[in-house]
Amino acid sequence: MSVLGWIVVSGLAMSALALVGGVALLLPQRVFLRVVLPMVALAAGTLVGGALFHMLPESIEVLGNQLSVYVWLAAGMVSFHILEQFLHWHHCHRAVGDHQPIGYLILAADALHNLVGGVAVGSAFIVDIRLGILTWLVAVAHEIPQELGDFGILVHGGWSARNALLYNVGSALTFPLGGLIAYGFAGHVDVAFLVPFAAGNFIYIALADLLPEITSAPNPREKAVYTASFIFGVVLLGTIALL
């Protein structure tokens, strides 16, 4: 198979992983409602772990330990704060029952993250097919828990399970797009700045939107479960980075 073929097939396979949230649809509604918030906590942990243990080290390795890395990190956080303020304003001027802004934020961040991931994997395939396969497997390892968490966030934010799954898959289609961009502009365009920018997006969503959701539970047992889920997400991504 050609390099372009590997990029297309691996990109579509990664997009299909967004369907992993559909596993939750097989659960009875009573059980599903009990696992939604732990999934949100898990997502917060994987977002923080992905940003700190994967995206920032990669940014420093490519761009060097320069101020520009942290400027783009801050830009990612500030831009999503501004976007959230706009979405909140827009939400307040629409009918009750519309989706909460956090759903749109997580989709935007995931789309950007998948675009960057697609560029990274596509670039690896261009260098060497074996390197591309290895890079793809590493991406899969942290994508599965993140997709489960994203699905939980959307449902918790008021989306129907069907729409959550549909839009999650839609945001994942930027992964093969990123691979095609890497193939088409190989050696001509440097998109490394998108990595710390996306890391800033992830950190903002986790700290500003998701953690407040799981720290407001009045039940001590629930607090313990949510905290454990959050820590598990961070440790899981840290372990993947070590491996």
Query: Which pLDDT does position 235 carry in this prediction?
Result: 93
Contact 127, 5 (CB under 8 A): no
Distance CA 38, CA 128 (A): 39
Contact 187, 27 (CB under 8 A): no
In the predicted model, is pLDDT for residue 109 greater than 90?
no
155 membership: H or E segment, kind and range: helix 129-156
Contact 150, 233 (CB under 8 A): no
pLDDT, tens digit (0-9, with 9 covering 90-100), for 31-75: 776 777 887 788 788 888 888 998 888 889 888 999 999 999 999
Residue entry with tokens 């706009």: 86
Query: Which pLDDT does position 236 carry in this prediction?
Result: 87
State residue 142 phi and psi, 5-degree precision.
Answer: -100, -10
Contact 204, 80 (CB under 8 A): yes
Mean pLDDT for the stretch of residues 72-81: 88
22-26, 113-117, 231-235, range with the lowest pLDDT: 22-26
Mean of the per-residue pLDDT values of the chain: 80
DSSP 93: T
Q: Which tokens is 51 given?
A: 């940003």
Distance CA 170, CA 87 (A): 20
Band (90; pLDDT cuts 50, 70, 90): very low
Which amino acid appears at position 164 of this protein? A
How many other β-carbons are positioned within 10 Å of the β-carbon of residue 221?
A: 8
pLDDT, tens digit (0-9, with 9 covering 90-100), for 173-228: 999 998 898 888 876 767 677 778 888 888 888 888 778 877 877 788 888 999 99
Q: Percentage of residues in the chain with pLDDT exceeding 70?
A: 86
61 or 28, which is more confident? 61
Contact 151, 208 (CB under 8 A): no
- Determine if residue 187 is left, alpha or beta; phi over 0 gives left, psi from -120 to 50 gives alpha, anything else beta: left
